Chains A and B, each alone.
Chain A
């Protein structure tokens, strides 16, 4: 019996050690890059502490009991079977803990839903299996392109070594300026998709025939990667989302280049007619 207990404790502590290793590594939420993502990150850590405290409390009592109150030690069973006071206490305490958890979450929900007065608006359309982007309003208005997985087939079929951004790279990135409130409008062309960029703290389903919206403001320039998060058929795993956040000046240059390229395309199109 003793040896089993030691084995259990060893198991539990290995588990704990192994989880603590993951904290702060790439196996936690990615480093937050927006206000909302930061809120989510902090609340998650905070909840983990609360859960840990409850865990230690409940299982401390239970494992003490398992250790001490066993027949093999000659422990005689008591015969109590209820206590109204205790039962009220352990109903009320969880309620209080839940309220403590709900308050910051409520604030974040309200902030997440506030898509008003954006600096720019981008429409993302889910297709089987790629994303289409249209810059609807703000600097860059009129830009429109598709964004497809750019990982070569050979890597997927294990015929070539896989790169660092395997399955998280696209031909055309969504480019946005840093520090600007970007409203993203979502819809889909065929089936459900979901537009998800973990570092920016947003995920929203794209629903065919309907419009949904969400928003983000990126804190720092960089490249942030995500994936479609709603099963959309065969190539669901192959429609990543890559957002590139640029400094305002560079963004302006990017917009100019895009607009002139599309102007050339349009004029060629007209000449060909």
Chain B
């Protein structure tokens, strides 16, 4: 992506950074680091996607064809871990790096050197994770949730995974402290909290969630590590421990984690929808409050992942009610987006298409979420393909579609070049089609009784599995089109106009040239 900044140089008087690889290793520039985050996450997305292709290839037909059961479990485990920690989370941090300083009128992130460090931890963690496939015994195979005692049984691969999670956690905590500090201290004069763009707001709240829960994850993997090697019995009943305690601690991290992956998407969509509707966002303050309530509620619903683990009726009822309550602020957001579009003057460029696709499919994921919240129904669908369908509707057509919307929306600002609109629309429609082909059928598989994480299944599930696999292959290939569109845009895209989207109102569009210079806002703008 060196070409991105080719014509942006020569702006700053202190622009003496090294060239070549050392530029990227030593950089403290938020734009460079943002770029690295985005490329890293896309690379991880392709790795995780390749694993998904393996999984769907094995499930294309009943019987064992390509992956032996043990390897299949390694694929599902690493697919989940890589997509969550390697693809989605770093991609949002990449957006935060690029956008937060520009949107609040700050020259850079608050801790520029720590920013470099939090990125460069990622390739190390990724190497441990991907490398674990090649150690004796192979990669971790206990699912991305690595429940003990199964995860206590694994080999070296599990230890590598644990260290990798430690490193990723450290990186996330540093990243979020940086974001919080930047947002709280470096806003341009006049930009009060309630004037911040919604993307900044959602990231601020997300960053607080990260600081709250990543240490919990670090703690629980450490307990697992000492159980495995140092004779402790946190999760071993024979030594006085409890395997279910792991689940409680893990999901205390794990459920807020879900919102860590979706709140910044809400932010991106809340920027894109008003821009292309040429109308201010409806209910700005209720959006902020809804985001905050979702974040708070997300910390008291963790045990809804454990309804079948066995807990008192009172416990089940509490977690059911709390979970259902999340539908209210989430609904408010969807209504606000709809009201923003209402009587706007809409155009449908690729970012808008992805944003509308996001709302449409995220709502379906929300419905299945409410259904999963109902304890009796959850007892049936827990650990089945229904749940797989549910969380792919919120993570793929939720987080990932929002990331695409954001990438198309801001790429002109980042590179000074336009992407190919026709190809962008192809990317959207193909993604939309293949995504639904892959995951919609999985609802039925789950209802009919197909458990998740199995490499082989009864013949009654054969037809929908085949459809799902075909959809997945199509979806996977479509994402290569995205890679092509982006490279094409960076290398030889048409020059972007100063203001490619006439409805944009945030600082990076109104106060900065396109492309954004390497150092922006050395003198802060005045926000009225």
A binds B: yes
Where the two chains meet, the residues of A that have a C-beta atom closer than 8 Å to any C-beta of B are: 1, 4, 7, 11, 15, 18-19, 22, 26-30, 36, 39-40, 43-44, 47-48, 51, 54-55, 58-59, 61-62, 65-66, 69-72, 75-83, 86-87, 90-91, 94-95, 98, 101-102, 105-106, 108-110, 112-113, 155-158, 162, 164-168, 190-192, 194, 196, 198, 201-205, 207-210, 212, 226-238
Whether the Cβ atoms of B380 and A201 lie closer than 8 Å is yes
Other-chain residue from B317, B342, B367, B457 in contact with A167 (beta carbon distance below 8 A): B457
Whether the Cβ atoms of A39 and B376 lie closer than 8 Å is yes
Q: Number of residue pairs across A and B with beta carbons under 8 Å?
A: 281
Whether the Cβ atoms of B280 and A79 lie closer than 8 Å is yes
Which residues of B sit under 8 angstroms from A59, Cβ to Cβ?
360, 363
* A210 with B464, Cβ < 8 A, contacts A66-B341, A109-B313 known: no
CA distance A212 to B379 in the complex (A): 14
* A78 with B343, Cβ < 8 A, contacts A106-B317, A227-B449 known: yes
CA distance A36 to B375 in the complex (A): 12
CA distance A82 to B457 in the complex (A): 52
CA distance A154 to B335 in the complex (A): 55
CA distance A2 to B250 in the complex (A): 49
Which residues of A sit under 8 angstroms from B121, Cβ to Cβ?
none
Q: Which of B408-444 contact A (CB under 8 A)?
A: 429, 432-433, 436, 440, 444
Interface core residue of A18, A109, A194 (most chain B CB under 10 Å):
A109
Which residues of B sit under 8 angstroms from A156, Cβ to Cβ?
63-64, 456
Whether the Cβ atoms of B379 and A47 lie closer than 8 Å is no
Whether the Cβ atoms of B347 and A47 lie closer than 8 Å is no
CA distance A164 to B455 in the complex (A): 18
* A233 with B153, Cβ < 8 A, contacts A71-B347, A82-B285 known: yes
Which residues of B sit under 8 angstroms from A19, Cβ to Cβ?
440
> B21 on the interface (CB 8 Å rule)?
no
Query: Can you report 8 A-B residue pairs in the complex whose CB atoms are below 8 A from each other?
Result: A11-B436, A30-B449, A79-B279, A98-B328, A102-B321, A209-B236, A229-B451, A237-B454
* A207 with B309, Cβ < 8 A, contacts A30-B449, A162-B62 known: yes
Other-chain residue from B243, B309, B347, B384 in contact with A72 (beta carbon distance below 8 A): B347
Q: Looking across the interface, which residue of chain A has its beta carbon closest to that of B341? A: A65
Q: Looking across the interface, which residue of chain B has its beta carbon closest to that of A113? A: B313
Whether the Cβ atoms of A28 and B313 lie closer than 8 Å is no
> B344 on the interface (CB 8 Å rule)?
yes
Other-chain residue from A40, A77, A113, A237 in contact with B377 (beta carbon distance below 8 A): A40
Whether the Cβ atoms of B363 and A55 lie closer than 8 Å is yes
Whether the Cβ atoms of A81 and B153 lie closer than 8 Å is no
Whether the Cβ atoms of A198 and B449 lie closer than 8 Å is yes
Q: Looking across the interface, which residue of chain B has its beta carbon closest to that of A82? A: B283
* A43 with B339, Cβ < 8 A, contacts A19-B440, A210-B242 known: no
> B150 on the interface (CB 8 Å rule)?
yes
Q: Looking across the interface, which residue of chain B has its beta carbon closest to that of A48? A: B371
CA distance A192 to B328 in the complex (A): 34
Whether the Cβ atoms of B310 and A212 lie closer than 8 Å is yes
Which residues of A sit under 8 angstroms from B284, Cβ to Cβ?
81-82
Interface core residue of B317, B334, B339, B359 (most chain A CB under 10 Å):
B339
Whether the Cβ atoms of A112 and B376 lie closer than 8 Å is yes
> B460 on the interface (CB 8 Å rule)?
yes
Whether the Cβ atoms of A208 and B243 lie closer than 8 Å is yes
Which residues of B sit under 8 angstroms from A87, Cβ to Cβ?
283, 286, 332
Whether the Cβ atoms of B448 and A30 lie closer than 8 Å is yes
CB distance from A93 to the nearest CB of B (A): 9
Whether the Cβ atoms of B345 and A71 lie closer than 8 Å is yes
Which residues of B sit under 8 angstroms from A212, Cβ to Cβ?
309-310
CA distance A198 to B383 in the complex (A): 12
- Which 10 pairs from chain A and chain B are nearest by CB? A209-B237, A237-B454, A27-B444, A77-B345, A212-B310, A78-B343, A108-B376, A113-B313, A81-B280, A158-B63
CA distance A156 to B380 in the complex (A): 26
CB distance from A56 to the nearest CB of B (A): 12
Which residues of A sit under 8 angstroms from B383, Cβ to Cβ?
194, 203, 229-231
Which residues of A sit under 8 angstroms from B377, Cβ to Cβ?
40, 43-44, 47, 105
CA distance A189 to B379 in the complex (A): 23
Which residues of B sit under 8 angstroms from A105, Cβ to Cβ?
320, 374-377
